[in-house]
Structure 1
Amino acid sequence: MDNYDVIKVIGEGAFGKAFLANGKADGKYCVIKEIDFVKPNQEKEASKKEVILLARMKHPNIVTFFSSFQENNRLFIVMEYCDGGDLMRRIRRQRGVLFSEDQILSWFVQISLGLKYIHDRKILHRDIKAQNIFLSKNGMVAKLGDFGIARVLNNSMELARTCVGTPYYISPEICQNKPYNNKTDIWSLGCVLYELCALKHPFEGNNLHQLVLKICQAHFAPIPTTFSHDLQALIPQLFEVSPRDRPSINSILKSPFLENLIAKYLTPEVSLEMIPCGFWQRFWLAGP
């Protein structure tokens, strides 16, 4: 930690603390996650896995990994600092005032592009929630973060079996202890989109049993009718109880009302990523 000036603690969870810091060499802000290896082996392995995954992630809508190092039986992960905080805090700041549909779709498309990037690499996030989506550049850029419980699949049809995630965002298949695949991330993505529209969780209960029942029945109130028909129609698709009936992230991004927005976020790097998938090649201007 000698290369950084620690400014303050900005988070604390099961895996350790997160600090806002300043690099002494470049003077730039960064976030440093500290994981104590004295804790159980399971956490140690999850932390190492996160480092390996983060080091491979290169996408404008995924929190950038800078480096990692070990000191005194602790692992430190140095990451990009997103000055807009997380999406959950941004939602709370609204105090009941709805976001514009343009703002919602801007964030949603960016989150979806980040999710496409990891799904194309056979990775499940498994903990998509407003708290794990970070904002930067005056809240205009949305980035997917916290890959602590992500899992790489051997192939796209392999099903994971571990029950993980945050209760408000977990899918029916996880509630029912069934195998699941990347469609569980789609359900969680639906929860985030619903929250952006309604400023509250789609599924709530007085206890865990009640919450699980609502999730398994996909019982949720419609979003406000001030939003477009396209947006109102998308949410039930993401909340299909059967994973097979839920769209893939590629299908979601091909929705006509979203497709037109995607060009705004296609940096050359993202465009190159999309080309092999045959994805909207008309958005890519021919280079040399």
Structure 2
Amino acid sequence: MNSYEIVRQIGEGAFGKAFLVRDKHGGGDGRCVVKHINLAKMSAREREASRKEVMLLSKMKHPNIVAFFRSFQEKNSLYIVMEYCDGGDLMKRINMQRGVPFTEEQVLDWFVQICLGLKHIHDRKILHRDIKTQNIFLTSGGMKAKLGDFGIARMLNNTMELARTCVGTPYYLSPEICESRPYNNKTCVHEFEGSSLRQLVGKICRGRYNPVSSCYSYDLRLLLTQLFKVSPRDRPSVSSVLKRPFLEKRISRHLEPQVRSSHTESLNKQSCPTRPGAAHTPGNMEHTT
């Protein structure tokens, strides 16, 4: 850690802390985030999970994913150095609105970027498993959205494997996780509310959520009703979502030409939206896990 000057602590978890630091030898302002993980407090299985997190992060190179710079170990501590997102997380940005709806233009720009980052990890057979507003980070004055915190991500060994461990944040759990059924890539967004965990799970499993405001377009409201379908087989894949004209036209705003070319090639390889009853695989990943 001698190469970094700690500016302040910005997070804390069961096994470590996250710090905003300044790289003493870096260019520009040199700010980045260092995640410090105390390996001494972990079981052998947990230490292995931390090493896998580093491996996953090193594979994630995309403009809509928080960048991984390096990792190193000192004694019983593992350090992961990542990009600093100066706009904070999306939850913070939502709270700043104090109940005032975002414009549809803003919602769609963030949504397309999140989908682009999500498609990147799904194409590599990786499930995030805890997508929520606190794990979406903003930069460039809040215009660029990046998916982060892969602490409980899961890499599938083959395209037909299903994850079975119940993980994630209650508000965002999908019906299949609530009912202890195998899942591949689905979770819900914070449209579901409940005064208790039992009530919340009940609403998720029945697909009951507050209606989307009529201030948003028909295309957006229709998409949300499809993404909230109780059966995972009825939800569109992230690839088919990005092919919808009202979203597809926005992709060029967020990807450099070289990245856009790679994305288009990958999208063209994807099959058409999966028909009801067909099996989903990580090659045809769904909206949000």
- Give the TM-score taking structure 2 as reference length: 0.89
Could you tell me which residue of structure 2 aligns to residue 139 of structure 1? Answer: 142
Deviation at 1:276, TM superposition (A): 3.5
Could you tell me which residue of structure 2 aligns to residue 197 of structure 1? Answer: none
Q: 3-state SS of the aligned residue for 1:30? A: strand
Could you tell me which residue of structure 2 aligns to residue 47 of structure 1? Answer: 50
**Count of residues in correspondence between the two structures:** 266
Could you tell me which residue of structure 2 aligns to residue 13 of structure 1? Answer: 13
Distance 1:166 1:15 in 2: 18
Equivalent pair of 1:68/1:75 in contact (CA under 8 Å): yes
Could you tell me which residue of structure 2 aligns to residue 194 of structure 1? Answer: none
Deviation at 1:154, TM superposition (A): 1.9
Distance 2:195 2:264 in 1: 47
Could you tell me which residue of structure 2 aligns to residue 111 of structure 1? Answer: 114
Could you tell me which residue of structure 1 aligns to residue 78 of structure 2? Answer: 75
Could you tell me which residue of structure 2 aligns to residue 252 of structure 1? Answer: 241
Distance 1:208 1:131 in 2: 20
Distance 1:275 1:96 in 2: 37
Distance 2:219 2:158 in 1: 32
Could you tell me which residue of structure 2 aligns to residue 23 of structure 1? Answer: 23
Could you tell me which residue of structure 1 aligns to residue 278 of structure 2? Answer: none
Distance 2:265 2:105 in 1: 29
Mapping 1:186-225, distance limit 5 Å: 187-188=187-188, 191=189, 201-225=190-214
Could you tell me which residue of structure 1 aligns to residue 36 of structure 2? Answer: 34
Equivalent pair of 2:85/2:137 in contact (CA under 8 Å): yes
- Consecutive unaligned residues of structure 1, counting only runs of 5 or more, are 192-200, 281-288
Could you tell me which residue of structure 1 aligns to residue 4 of structure 2? Answer: 4
Q: Which amino acid aligns with 2:12?
A: E
Equivalent pair of 1:15/1:43 in contact (CA under 8 Å): no
Higher mean Cα deviation, 260-269 or 202-211?
Answer: 260-269
Q: CA offsets, 1:23-52, max 9 Å, x none?
A: 000141000000000122233222111100
Mapping 1:122-271, distance limit 5 Å: 122-182=125-185, 184=186, 187-188=187-188, 191=189, 201-271=190-260
Higher mean Cα deviation, 40-49 or 232-241?
Answer: 40-49
Q: Which amino acid aligns with 1:232?
A: R
Distance 1:157 1:236 in 2: 27
Distance 1:37 1:82 in 2: 26
Q: CA offsets, 1:61-117, max 9 Å, x none?
A: 000000001112000000000000000000001001111000000000000000000
Q: CA offsets, 1:218-277, max 9 Å, x none?
A: 100111111101111111111111111111100110111111111111213422432442
Could you tell me which residue of structure 1 aligns to residue 105 of structure 2? Answer: 102
Deviation at 1:278, TM superposition (A): 4.7
- Consecutive unaligned residues of structure 2, counting only runs of 5 or more, are 270-289
Distance 1:127 1:62 in 2: 14
Q: Percent identity?
A: 62
Q: 3-state SS of the aligned residue for 2:17? A: strand
